[in-house]
A and B are shown apart, each in its own frame.
Chain A
Amino acid sequence: EAGVAQSPRYKIIEKRQSVAFWCNPISGHATLYWYQQILGQGPKLLIQFQNNGVVDDSQLPKDRFSAERLKGVDSTLKIQPAKLEDSAVYLCASSRGWKDTQYFGPGTRLTVL
């Protein structure tokens, strides 16, 4: 079974630029999560999808972050415009259902200069 795929693996941008991350969850997994992991900290949930609907986006900075999950499969997370404090690893995870084990992708390391 293929794992959670993410791209790109690394991204370096200037502040105020835009960036987008892509995630392809494990086939058949209805629940998809985006986490932000700042260096030296644990992952922080940004948004959770159940199929193509948003379950929780309470910690998503909606003035600059947006996410979508078209057709309940792939998902994209966008930051526009980026700030220095957005430098982090962005992790995507998926699970069969919202109570099931989460499987994480390798993450995208974002550096904002």
Chain B
Amino acid sequence: QQQVKQSPQSLIVQKGGISIINCAYENTAFDYFPWYQQFPGKGPALLIAIRPDVSEKKEGRFTISFNKSAKQFSLHIMDSQPGDSATYFCAASNFNKFYFGSGTKLNVKP
């Protein structure tokens, strides 16, 4: 059973546009929701994370929106740049267990 469902599988955005990636979960015990960025040949790196007591967190061009009632959270990348082209994973955590989404491959066209 997939604990975290992520969409879309791939995304093409023009430079300067907004990239939006969505995730949904079922387990209401999850209490930590990070987003990871992965470049080819590298391990995932933490991008931004949120806890369910807030509805939004912004760091630079990256924003997480969190909807606790809908059990959904999303990553918004404003002013997307070619350097943002990577695979993005959402994750959800309960105590020591982390569950990752299936990933979204983002391609930002110059």
Measured CB to CB, the residues of A under 8 A from B are 4, 31, 33, 40-45, 48, 55-56, 91, 93, 98-99, 101-107
Contacts and interface: CB of A to CB of B under 8 A. Distances in A.
Contacts of B97: 45, 56
For the complex, would chain B's binding face be called helix, strand, loop or mixed by DSSP majority?
Answer: strand
Contacts, number: 49
Interface stretch (B12-20, B36-44, B61-69, B71-79): B36-44
Given A48-B96, A98-B96, A40 B43 contact: no
In the complex, the 7 A-B pairs of residues with the closest C-beta atoms, listed nearest first: A104-B43, A42-B100, A98-B96, A43-B100, A42-B89, A104-B44, A42-B102
17 contacts: A4-B43, A31-B96, A33-B98, A40-B102, A42-B89, A42-B91, A42-B100, A42-B101, A42-B102, A43-B89, A45-B98, A101-B34, A102-B98, A104-B43, A104-B44, A106-B41, A107-B43
